[in-house]
Chains A and B, each alone.
Chain A
């Protein structure tokens, strides 16, 4: 099961969550606004690779992250190739991949508690409009943490099907998966209430 945060002592790990989030957001925006040509792919790589090296996570972790989003890269590239020329497809896929990998760099080098605090602080001005910053930050934390839980639940459903020799199909997977996911959501709601979160 994945743990998003990778402990470390680099300057990227030590940087406060708020400014770091803002910095990464600016870089992601800059990469997104690059013109659509071959240079974009190179610049996207030139920004992403040093980021992983500076974080101490290295090329191996970058490779792991690329593998984990391989289907997003494939679908984006193939989809673009149907409608656009190869240069545009590669440029767009590169900047999208760089954006995802840089966003991953944020959660890989920042404890979720620090992200929660930064998110809560950033949303505080919206409190005047009736938004509850603590609740919005909690929603973010729960969403991040639910990814590995859902992956495990999906594995459990597949194992249960195999144990009963059930033929695997999208329908026989999706329905029980939805049921266990909703049950988990119910239990998580109870657990949050039990821990004093309303």
Chain B
């Protein structure tokens, strides 16, 4: 696990979502969602098209809401996008699209460009991060030659080296086998991780390991609470 010295105010307000609505074309992807999320690890579950990924994109400032607002550690995701970028890292299901630089070490270092860190500091942090993710031996390898699991570990490494206050992971284990899923989950759910985690997943075992869970259905949050009860609510809805 990359040590996280939490540069952010831990007393800052949690994630606050107020009357959030998002339209994608003619589809109402999110419908008047209001939430307060202060748990460290939050699972977001629900069927395909229920609004989970749209919620993650809005939370990460990648998409804009049609109405309503989100504040992450007291930063408005629309009005304060520069500040938000310093707070949030995102990992997607497809690691290929997240690789920007040719080699593994360069791709991890790329996350620190413009951070103000010196070359020496960047090199030290990259070395430590690669070691934490057991990618040291692959440092000079072409990032595009890695296996799917290694690429996702690289994407996660690139996201966490920025020491975000909030990590959003949108189905990060979707394309991975059991071994790589376990490795990615280990880093995501590490008890000493210094970041808040919002994990969008179809993997209910992974969701069960979070502190709290949200169930989305047709653009609304229909259940929120302990993972066990929210997962049971989801399973019950599938039986109907």
Interfacial residues, chain A to chain B (CB-CB below 8 A): 1-5, 7, 111-113, 116, 134, 141-142, 144-145, 148-149, 152, 184, 187-188, 190-198
Contacts and interface: CB of A to CB of B under 8 A. Distances in A.
B103 A198 contact: no
A190 B92 contact: yes
Contacts of A4: 102
B86 interface: yes
Contacts, number: 93
B96 interface: yes
B80 to A, nearest CB: 12
Interface stretch (B139-147, B196-204, B216-224, B231-239): B139-147
Contact of B103 (A3, A142, A193): A3
A193 B94 contact: no
A195 B154 CA distance: 13
16 contacts: A2-B142, A112-B101, A113-B110, A116-B113, A148-B102, A184-B97, A190-B90, A191-B90, A191-B97, A191-B98, A192-B100, A194-B89, A195-B98, A195-B110, A196-B111, A198-B85
A112 B102 contact: yes
Contacts of A192: 100
Interface of A (DSSP majority class)? helix
Given A7-B140, A111-B106, A196-B111, A191 B100 contact: yes
Given A193-B85, A194-B89, A113 B100 contact: no
Interface of B: 57, 60-62, 81-82, 85-86, 88-92, 94, 96-103, 106, 109-111, 113-115, 140-142, 144-145, 158-159, 162
Given A1-B142, A3-B145, A194 B60 contact: yes
Contacts of B101: 112-113, 141, 145
Given A187-B94, A196-B114, 15 more contacts: A1-B142, A5-B102, A112-B103, A112-B106, A113-B109, A145-B101, A148-B144, A149-B144, A187-B98, A190-B57, A190-B90, A190-B92, A192-B100, A194-B90, A196-B111
A111 B122 CA distance: 15
A3 B102 contact: yes
Contact of B97 (A116, A134, A190): A190
A144 B86 CA distance: 26
Contact of A188 (B97, B115, B159): B97
A134 B115 CA distance: 12
